[in-house]
Chain A
């Protein structure tokens, strides 16, 4: 079997069996990047020398029995808003072009303890604000399945890197769909864990009450393995909790599982082919013994406006730290302290970031707070209740992850609302703090991947992974990749 037809756990097994060396695997990925990156541009930075050094270190660790985990030695990548010690972490922004963290994010530390070899930092929408990866200060990423299409966003680089098999898994972050939507557009498996399941220490914040780190992977088992490494309570993130680690998914039996199909997710605006493929996935789960139950979620229509108020409000507060004093961009010329703040921010942030900061500042301003911010928090409560209601009838829900497949680059940049509408199926999951998983469920007539989303109650990661794995045991889509040029 060719190296790039393997999933991460399969490569990990071969590394442990000494069938392939860590350095050999890393060099193969680096060679693949040289071939793919000129077209795909999934990476902001490839850390070649560090990766080779680390590969030798991990090989020694494996030989000496220090690294015994299933992912030891497997090449991976990290979205460029997760702090990596001594490696630039830019958030794809001019603001942080030269920012070098002096510490590792907790997830990086955990992965290192598991023997991960990081090959670089992946591209994203600036400060994770976008659904296409086009707002990156460092250029756009192209969808490996069709280079004229967007990879999705904001974790578009991570999804594209895995889809192009430049690495075997990658970390992303998801504030309103930023793992699941690019997973859908790029045909990979992405998991946004329950809020609090994974420490956010070292994650550069966008909207702290919604942000969560998770894996973009080749299949559900790989996603489970990565999640098992990065989960857990962390004293450095007070919102993190001790959640039960999901077991590795085994087998294809789903008897007794009630899968809710919310009709509101299949209504107007959904592409016909996406609907068919996702319903096909639902029927496949049924064939494995699951029972399909119709459920309702009429509150869905209000999820996007509520989300944008909350996310932008939190962003306007979080991003106030970028003032040209402690870190980040500072202009050469300024008049006084006030002017230094103004110029640093105005020259350091891109247009979409400014747009969201402005909306957020408005929603939090005196006189409008009640009508917008507080109202959105009430809607958030209603959405949480609506999910609770659904989970009385169903163990998990199946929905599309995005209304369409990957659209052409440049087609959604003029009108912000048009892009925001693409987040309709994902944002409510973040507002309710729930886990959501996206897995590939076929292709449209243009050969672009379609993703289905599973949503479960808090801490039901194991259930979502088990259902996706059962599906993947009987379908080929997660195994398909764009292949050679």
Chain B
């Protein structure tokens, strides 16, 4: 599969990564190589095989819906790059 610059830009956008020209060229090469490599999966006949997400049959794990103490707000914000008035601080998003 040919990986062109438009494809790389699209995938970078999905991944929320900013690549300069050199990095885009490198990414095109890496992606092409990796996609070619994983493409060998196509050789295997998987007709009728149910896709398996989890190896163990653990489903719908529930717990009682009870009120519990949650983590301290101050703690949660301790690792925030920026915070104000007990909230995460982000750039203005609405004009």
Contacts and interface: CB of A to CB of B under 8 A. Distances in A.
Contacts of A416: 30, 33-34
Interface residues of A, number: 69
Given A305-B41, A327-B80, A381-B50, A235 B93 contact: no
Nearest to A319: B15
A355 B27 CA distance: 7
A359 B52 contact: no
Contacts of A196: 56, 58
A380 B80 CA distance: 38
Contact of A458 (B10, B46, B56, B76): B56
Contact of A100 (B16, B63, B79): B79
A477 interface: no
Contacts of A357: 15, 17
A302 B63 CA distance: 38
A98 B54 CA distance: 33
Contacts of B11: 358, 361-362, 365
B6 interface: no
Contacts of B50: 378, 381
Contacts of A238: 58, 61
B90 interface: yes
A328 B88 CA distance: 13
B67 interface: no
Interface stretch (A142-150, A184-192, A333-341, A391-399): A333-341
The majority secondary structure among interface residues of chain A is helix
A204 B22 CA distance: 31
User: Which of B11, B31, B75 neighbours the largest number of chain A CB atoms within 10 Å of its CB?
Assistant: B11
Nearest to A363: B38
B16 A323 contact: yes
Contact of B41 (A103, A330, A375): A375
Contact of B37 (A99, A195, A209, A305): A305
Contacts of A340: 90-91
Given A302-B41, A345-B16, A377-B53, A337 B91 contact: yes
Nearest to B71: A102
Contact of B16 (A342, A380, A458): A342
Nearest to B38: A305
A341 B78 CA distance: 20
Interface in A136-175: none
Given A324-B81, A325-B80, A379-B46, A345 B17 contact: yes
Nearest to A354: B17
Contacts of B51: 374, 377-378, 380-381
A26 B29 CA distance: 49
A346 B52 contact: no
B81 A330 contact: yes
Given A302-B40, A324-B81, A346-B17, A209 B54 contact: yes
A309 B38 contact: yes
Nearest to B63: A235
A195 B79 contact: no
Contacts of B19: 346
A379 B41 contact: yes
B16 A302 contact: no
B42 A375 contact: yes
Contacts of B61: 238-239
Given A354-B17, A359-B31, A433-B55, A100 B78 contact: yes
A431 interface: yes
B50 to A, nearest CB: 6
Nearest to B8: A358
Nearest to B88: A325
Nearest to A335: B91
B18 interface: yes
Contacts of A316: 14-15
B16 to A, nearest CB: 5
B14 A365 contact: yes
A39 to B, nearest CB: 33
Contacts of A102: 71-72, 75-76, 78-79
25 contacts: A102-B72, A102-B76, A103-B71, A195-B55, A196-B56, A209-B55, A239-B61, A302-B41, A324-B81, A334-B91, A336-B92, A337-B90, A342-B17, A346-B19, A358-B11, A362-B14, A362-B35, A365-B10, A372-B41, A375-B42, A375-B46, A378-B50, A382-B49, A417-B37, A433-B55
Given A102-B78, A341-B16, A375-B41, 12 more contacts: A195-B54, A209-B53, A238-B61, A299-B44, A324-B81, A358-B11, A358-B27, A359-B38, A374-B51, A375-B46, A378-B49, A384-B55
